[in-house]
């Protein structure tokens, strides 16, 4: 819904600007590809490494639980013919306990990783926004649109390279 609203605003702005030629001469419009800038930022490449390092111990613990479940499940399948009923039951209970432990630790860990990833991405997006604002003010732009919001734009309107350069200066 939010994206749709952005597209509608962009369409209205571009349509109204195109219909009034005198206004078009007075308005300075730019286009920026935020996604491409984000991907080109060195900090974005390091983002996954930062998060993996932060949750390293919990990730290893969950992976060990996953390996244990697989090992004991395979053992049950492989040796069930030679096991007593009590041994089978004990091993099945052990597998169930490990699966419950995995579920209890795995899902919250995944949510925490996702939350931290979102926080870090939002920090980088804030840097991009700050760079866009700085360029807009310095070069007197009236409107700078996200490239994904515009159906078409001439390449000379694209200020993405300037924004990336500004983002790198901000760090």
Any idea what the Cα angle at residue 76 is, between residues 108 and 60, rounded to 5°?
Answer: 30
88 is written with which tokens?
């089978």
Residue 17's pLDDT is 52
Q: How confident is the model at residue 65 (pLDDT cuts 50, 70, 90)?
A: very high
Residue 170's pLDDT is 76
Residue 58's pLDDT is 96
Q: How confident is the model at residue 157 (pLDDT cuts 50, 70, 90)?
A: confident
User: Is residue 61 over pLDDT 60?
Assistant: yes
Q: Which residues contact 105 (CB under 8 A, 6 or more apart)?
A: 58, 61, 62, 65
143 is written with which tokens?
């409107």
Please state the rounded mean pLDDT for residues 16-45: 76
Phi-psi region of 150 (alpha: psi -120 to 50; beta: other; left: phi over 0): beta
Please give, one letter per residue, the 3-state secondary structure of the chain: CHHHHHHHHHHHHHHHHHHCHHHHHHCCEEEECHHHHHHHCHHHHHHHHHHHHHCHHHHHHHHHHHHHHHHHHHHHHHHCCCCCHHHHHHHHHHHHHHHHHHHHHHHHHHHHHHHHHHHHHHHHHHHHHHHHHHHHHHCCCCEEEEHHHCCCCCHHHECHHHHHHHHHHHC
pLDDT tens per residue, range 96-138: 999 999 999 999 999 999 999 999 999 999 999 999 999 999 9
pTM of the predicted model as reported, rounded to 2 decimal places: 0.66
Q: How confident is the model at residue 54 (pLDDT cuts 50, 70, 90)?
A: very high
Nearest to 163 by CA among 10, 41, 7: 41
Give all domains of the chain, ordered by start, each with its CATH number. 2-170 (3.30.910.20)
Q: How confident is the model at residue 147 (pLDDT cuts 50, 70, 90)?
A: confident
CA dist., res. 144 & res. 30, Å (int): 4
Q: How confident is the model at residue 9 (pLDDT cuts 50, 70, 90)?
A: very low
Please state the rounded mean pLDDT for residues 84-88: 93
Residue 57's pLDDT is 96
Q: How confident is the model at residue 95 (pLDDT cuts 50, 70, 90)?
A: very high
Mean pLDDT of the chain: 85
């Amino acid at each position: 819904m939010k994206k749709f609203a952005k597209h509608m605003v962009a369409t209205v702005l571009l349509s109204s600007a195109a219909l009034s030629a005198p206004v078009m001469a007075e308005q300075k419009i730019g286009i920026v590809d935020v996604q491409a800038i984000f991907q080109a930022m060195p900090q974005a490449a390091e983002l996954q490494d930062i998060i993996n390092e932060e949750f390293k111990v919990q990730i290893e613990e969950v992976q060990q639980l996953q390996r244990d479940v697989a090992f004991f499940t395979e053992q049950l399948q492989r040796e069930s013919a030679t096991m007593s009923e009590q041994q089978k039951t004990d091993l099945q209970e052990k597998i169930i306990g490990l699966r419950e432990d995995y579920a209890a630790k795995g899902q919250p860990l995944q949510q925490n990783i996702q939350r931290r990833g979102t926080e870090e991405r939002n920090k980088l997006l804030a840097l991009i926004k700050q760079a866009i604002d700085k360029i807009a003010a310095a070069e007197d732009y009236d409107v700078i649109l996200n490239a994904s919001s515009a159906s078409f734009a001439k390449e000379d309107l694209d200020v993405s390279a300037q924004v990336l350069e500004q983002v790198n200066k901000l760090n």
